[in-house]
């Protein structure tokens, strides 16, 4: 007889806000439901580029065709669901306002930061540095922990309580994975990206290698440049 206690409890995906200096988590956002699908895009940073020129019509420098100038640009998109009606045991006098506000603050400066910038402007400061946000990590299990910057946050509220507090919403979230090309040398986020990339390398090394015979080729075909 199978007992419910024997069924492994699934882990949740989420977002962790980290102090880049100390490396300590400042806030942990656990997604209520794991998204059903993930849309991922990985674009190489080719050294040659796609520009015109050259005689072949394909553009770019022939000597750069196989070179990379940095890590691939990786982006993620998914839809997150928040539903207060699925958690009746948890009081929600404000509906899901707190959860929505927490996610929205990932792309907003704080009032304190805005007031500080305003004071500098009033003092006649010529150049004001852009406001820096905390280091944001997206986690999808232990094999996918990466520094990200949110690039899209679209909210669709679909149900409300009697006080017009939203109680159900879906959020379209887009993220760009931050690499060593995006962050200063020695930044904690850069080290976390390298750990993320090293995990990819380990997983790639575990994949079973194919055989040339399955492609209808032999080693001689490859060596002679015949395909």
Tell me which of 181 and 86 has the higher pLDDT.
181
Span 139-150, average pLDDT: 95
User: In degrees to the nearest 10, what's the CA dihedral of 208, 212, 214, 215?
Assistant: 120
Whole-number Cα distances in Å, 148 to 20, 61, 138, 161, 181: 13, 32, 6, 34, 13
| Parallel, antiparallel or unpaired: strands 166-177 and 39-46 | unpaired
Residue 49: per-residue pLDDT: 63
Using one digit for the tens of pLDDT, what is the confidence trace for 146-164?
999 999 999 999 999 999 9
Span 177-187, average pLDDT: 92
The span from the CA of 205 to the CA of 214, in Å, is 20
Please name which of 12, 14, 21, 13 lies closest in space to residue 135, comparing C-alpha atoms: 21
Residue 56: per-residue pLDDT: 46
Using one digit for the tens of pLDDT, what is the confidence trace for 191-225?
999 999 999 999 999 999 888 888 888 888 787 65
Question: What DSSP element (H or E) covers 205?
Answer: helix 188-206
Q: How confident is the model at residue 173 (pLDDT cuts 50, 70, 90)?
A: very high
Residue 37: per-residue pLDDT: 95
Is 80 exceeded by the pLDDT of residue 188? yes
Please name which of 135, 134, 157, 146 lies closest in space to residue 38, comparing C-alpha atoms: 146
Contact 76, 39 (CB under 8 A): yes
Residue 140: per-residue pLDDT: 95
Residue 227: per-residue pLDDT: 47
Q: Which two three-digit tokens encode residue 61?
A: 């420098």
Using one digit for the tens of pLDDT, what is the confidence trace for 36-71?
999 999 999 888 765 444 444 455 677 888 888 899
């Amino acid at each position: 007889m199978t007992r419910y206690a024997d069924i492994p409890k699934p882990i949740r995906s989420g977002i962790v806000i980290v102090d880049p200096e100390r490396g300590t988590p400042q806030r942990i956002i656990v997604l209520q439901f794991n998204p059903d699908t993930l849309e991922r895009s990985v674009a190489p940073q080719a050294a040659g580029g796609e520009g015109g020129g050259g005689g072949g019509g394909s553009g770019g420098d022939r000597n750069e065709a196989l070179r990379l100038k940095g890590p691939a640009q990786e982006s993620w998109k998914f839809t997150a669901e928040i539903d207060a009606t699925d958690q009746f045991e948890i009081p929600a006098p404000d509906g899901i306002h707190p959860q929505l506000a927490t996610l929205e603050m990932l792309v907003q400066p704080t009032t304190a930061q805005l007031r500080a910038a305003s004071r500098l402007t009033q003092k006649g400061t010529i150049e004001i540095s852009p406001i820096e946000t905390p280091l944001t990590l997206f986690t999808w299990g232990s094999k996918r922990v990466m520094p990200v910057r949110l690039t899209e946050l679209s909210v669709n509220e679909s149900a409300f309580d009697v006080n017009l507090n939203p109680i159900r919403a879906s959020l379209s979230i887009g993220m760009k994975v931050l690499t060593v090309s995006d962050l200063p040398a020695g930044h904690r986020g850069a080290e976390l990206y390298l750990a993320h990339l090293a995990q990819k390398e380990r997983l790639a090394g575990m994949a079973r290698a194919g055989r040339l015979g399955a492609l209808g080729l032999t080693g001689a075909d490859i060596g002679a440049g015949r395909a």
